[in-house]
Chain A
Amino acid sequence: MAGKTLYDKLWDSHLVQQRDDGSALIYIDLQLLHEVTSPQAFEGLRMHGRKPWRLTSSLATPDHNVPTTVEERKSGVNGIADPVSKIQVTTLDDNCDEFGITEFKMTDIRQGIVHVVGPEQGATLPGMTVVCGDSHTSTHGAFGALAHGIGTSEVEHVLATQCLVQKKMKNMLVRVDGQLSPYVTAKDVVLAIIGKIGTAGGTGFAIEFGGEAIQSLSMEGRMTVCNMAIEAGARVGLIAVDQTTIDYVANRPYAPKGDHWDMAVEAWSDLVSDADAQFDEVVVLNGADIKPQVTWGTSPEMVIAIDQDIPRPEDQADPVAREGYARAWKYMGLEGKKTLADITLDRVFIGSCTNSRIEDLRSAAEVVKGRKVAATLKQAIVVPGSGLVKAQAEEEGLHEIFTAAGLEWREPGCSMCLAMNADKLGQGEHCASTSNRNFEGRQGFGGRTHLVSPAMAAAAAIAGHFVDVNDLVKQ
């Protein structure tokens, strides 16, 4: 019998009941909650007179709607200017208080983007099943945890039953061999993967990322890669547990202690795919071939290396692709442009659950240090992923580097990644963004998003247009 993949092992260890019809009941260890996708779930519990199955399995924090200016944040939830956003955050507070769920409220230094907060607290642990009403829950797969986004009905289902009805996914291995070049980051790796397999390439699969280039990444980098598995269509991204994982988790507030720690570490050593495990599909990339990536269109698969020409609709053989490219060209205002450097940028956003961790901020700070953002730029903002990331960055003096260079230093939240708060693009504005989606209107009505790494966003902020960060740092 062939060995098991990491996904197979996680599935097996959480199987409560296999049903005759092919569906299965899977146990959930951790549910993260935020204000946007939970109110209707709590309302459902109340309507049916149900209580959460196990309170200690939930952790909540508001992130999508919270304002990020110091002024608005001073008075907590009362400082939210938008009344509709305020109701949503207040509703989360009220629901958590009513049901007894631990919540890091807006004034708590531990507040932040759920996918930054969970790992930072050690709430996310290897071998767990983790869900959240947010598709970027795949982030937590970086810890060898089975983690994926769910809808609000399922948020309610997990609250009420601690389980989800699931069907097993297929296994895909994406292997990135060799070493990465200087200033080629986890973000470039995952964008290159999406460029290769497409936004539906991983549909129906749990993707395990492996190979030397992946193993060499820090936990922050691994989270960036798994975060965007969903942008390749895969609900689940996974990376095997190794010493890097264990070192990151050790001594975090929620991590096991004492005997339980030793027991856990021993159990976690099995969280790798067996050498003879069979994958339904294997994709291989060479790390040394990957260059800094930039998206040019309105889907994460519309991505090229910084030195490539923007692909033209008329060069596409497939008629559906040709039409999609033509629509993207029009929306992005690319007529008359040949390369990425021809696009004049209006704003730069460094943040989001993809790239707002301390390593991301260090990487951007290193590039802007001693330089000034281009005068043509309307705005460049840096939004740390959590209050603790912010505090760490300030301890290292990163905020001073950013502000000296002309970037704004903000309070933690999802911010301009999806523009549910006041941070958004104006119509037709181009933004170099470290977020995860470049869909039409994502960062604001008519806004034009280009996805990049923090180092590339920082370089773009200095130049006012896209440039290979390797060239900029030599100047």
Chain B
Amino acid sequence: MRPFTKHTGIAAPLDLANVDTDMIIPKQFLKSIKRTGFGKNLFDELRYQDEGQPDQDCTGRPLREDFVLNQARYQGSSILLARKNFGCGSSREHAPWALDDYGMRSVIAPSFADIFYNNCFKNGLLPIVLTEEEVDQLFKEVEANEGYELTIDLEAQKVIAPSGAEFSFEVDAFRKHCLLNGLDDIGLTLQESDAIKAYEEQRIKTAPWLFEARSL
């Protein structure tokens, strides 16, 4: 996994609450058996006027000009600002894959849906929770200033605005550690194999039916 330490980039304001994973990446693109290539279909229905198809060349498709990521000033953005309950709905990891593939490194919102939030950390994407007021302030600043960039310092757990204003955020120690170092958490868990085996040996005595072979 790509580590996340410090990142500076253009912020794009997506002024919508309850952005669901069907919006982030519509179902027809979930048919891929790869982890990459979803970026061109990120927010497909919000971004294009027509219905997108898997494996389609998107360069000639008619754009919805009013959509934030289609506006010239937000080209190359890598930080998405959004409203509450971002990422609600399905567990599809294709949602963070699409954000990552597009070039997003972080999403800032007042709250996230649990599964989406969790999936982000597995893909080097940092979801940041700030208060409603702080997010609102960032929305106003980004909309008022073209080329508005934010800096995110994961080690210090701070979002830094161009004015120098700093916004602190919380992040779990384990997730932070994995993200800072780009660690594969399967490898980490396998270091605890003895504890897993010890659990199984104990559990099979009290609940043997859970370990019966399922061959029918």
A441–B22 touching, CB < 8 Å: yes
Residues of A within 8 A of B34 (CB): 40
A39–B115 touching, CB < 8 Å: no
Residues of A within 8 A of B174 (CB): 19, 21-23, 165
Given contacts A123-B214, A133-B91, contact A419 B27 (CB under 8 A): yes
Residues of B within 8 A of A264 (CB): 207, 209
Cβ distance B36 to chain A, nearest Cβ, rounded Å: 10
Scan B15-32; emit 1 where CB is below 8 A from any A CB, else 0: 111101011001110111
B186–A27 touching, CB < 8 Å: no
List B164-213 residues whose CB lies under 8 Å from chain A: 172-175, 177, 185-186, 189-190, 192-193, 195-196, 199-200, 203, 206-213
Q: How far is the CA of A98 from the CA of B56 in the complex (A)?
A: 31
Residues of B within 8 A of A48 (CB): 186
Residues of A within 8 A of B115 (CB): 135, 148-151, 230, 235
Number of cross-chain contacts by CB at 8 Å: 202
Q: How far is the CA of A160 from the CA of B174 in the complex (A)?
A: 19
Q: Does A195 contact B (CB under 8 A)?
A: no
List A171-202 residues whose CB lies under 8 Å from chain B: 199-200
A135–B26 touching, CB < 8 Å: no
Q: Does B105 contact A (CB under 8 A)?
A: no
B199–A200 touching, CB < 8 Å: no
Residues of B within 8 A of A439 (CB): 20, 22-23, 89
Q: Which range contains the number of B residues in contact with the other chain?
A: 35 or more
Residues of A within 8 A of B18 (CB): 199-200, 299, 324
B17 interface neighbour in A50, A320, A442, Cβ under 8 Å: A320
Cβ distance A70 to chain B, nearest Cβ, rounded Å: 23
Residues of B within 8 A of A437 (CB): 20, 22, 89-90
Q: Does B35 contact A (CB under 8 A)?
A: yes
B33–A56 touching, CB < 8 Å: no
Q: Does B47 contact A (CB under 8 A)?
A: no
Given contacts A87-B33, A264-B209, A324-B17, contact A27 B113 (CB under 8 A): no
- We find that the number of chain A residues with CB closer than 8 angstroms to chain B is 83
B91–A37 touching, CB < 8 Å: yes
Across the interface, name the chain B residue whose C-beta is closest to A53: B196
B33–A125 touching, CB < 8 Å: no
Residues of B within 8 A of A392 (CB): none
Residues of A within 8 A of B20 (CB): 299, 437, 439
B214–A56 touching, CB < 8 Å: yes
Given contacts A25-B189, A135-B89, contact A56 B114 (CB under 8 A): no
A320 interface neighbour in B84, B89, B122, B193, Cβ under 8 Å: B84
Residues of B within 8 A of A64 (CB): 30
Chain A CB within 10 A, most for which of B15, B27, B115, B185: B27
B172 interface neighbour in A23, A134, A327, Cβ under 8 Å: A23
Q: Does A279 contact B (CB under 8 A)?
A: no
Q: Does B5 contact A (CB under 8 A)?
A: no
Cβ distance B138 to chain A, nearest Cβ, rounded Å: 15
A25–B192 touching, CB < 8 Å: yes
Q: Does B151 contact A (CB under 8 A)?
A: no
Cβ distance B117 to chain A, nearest Cβ, rounded Å: 9
Q: Does B144 contact A (CB under 8 A)?
A: no
Q: How far is the CA of A29 from the CA of B55 in the complex (A)?
A: 37
B30–A254 touching, CB < 8 Å: no
Q: Does B157 contact A (CB under 8 A)?
A: no
Q: Does A154 contact B (CB under 8 A)?
A: yes
Scan A126-159; emit 1 where CB is below 8 A from any B CB, else 0: 0110000111010000000000111111101100
Q: Does A84 contact B (CB under 8 A)?
A: yes
Residues of B within 8 A of A151 (CB): 91-93, 96, 115, 118-119, 122
Residues of B within 8 A of A459 (CB): none
List B80-117 residues whose CB lies under 8 Å from chain A: 83-85, 88-93, 96, 111-115
Across the interface, name the chain B residue whose C-beta is closest to A30: B210
B214–A152 touching, CB < 8 Å: no
Residues of B within 8 A of A133 (CB): 91, 93
Residues of A within 8 A of B72 (CB): none
Residues of A within 8 A of B55 (CB): 84
Q: Does A36 contact B (CB under 8 A)?
A: yes
Residues of A within 8 A of B137 (CB): none
A160–B17 touching, CB < 8 Å: no
Across the interface, name the chain A residue whose C-beta is closest to B213: A56
A440–B91 touching, CB < 8 Å: no
Q: Does A382 contact B (CB under 8 A)?
A: no
A27–B196 touching, CB < 8 Å: yes
**Chain B residues near A (Cβ < 8 Å):** 15-18, 20, 22-23, 26-28, 30-35, 45, 51, 54-55, 83-85, 88-93, 96, 111-115, 118-119, 122-123, 172-175, 177, 185-186, 189-190, 192-193, 195-196, 199-200, 203, 206-216
Given contacts A134-B91, A200-B88, 4 further A-B contacts (CB under 8 A): A88-B33, A165-B174, A199-B85, A437-B22
- Sample 12 A-B pairs with CB under 8 A, ordered by A number: A16-B195, A17-B195, A27-B203, A40-B34, A43-B35, A134-B91, A135-B89, A157-B185, A203-B85, A233-B114, A254-B216, A260-B209
Q: State the 4 A-B residue pairs at the shortest beta-carbon distance, nearest first.
A: A256-B209, A153-B122, A151-B93, A151-B119
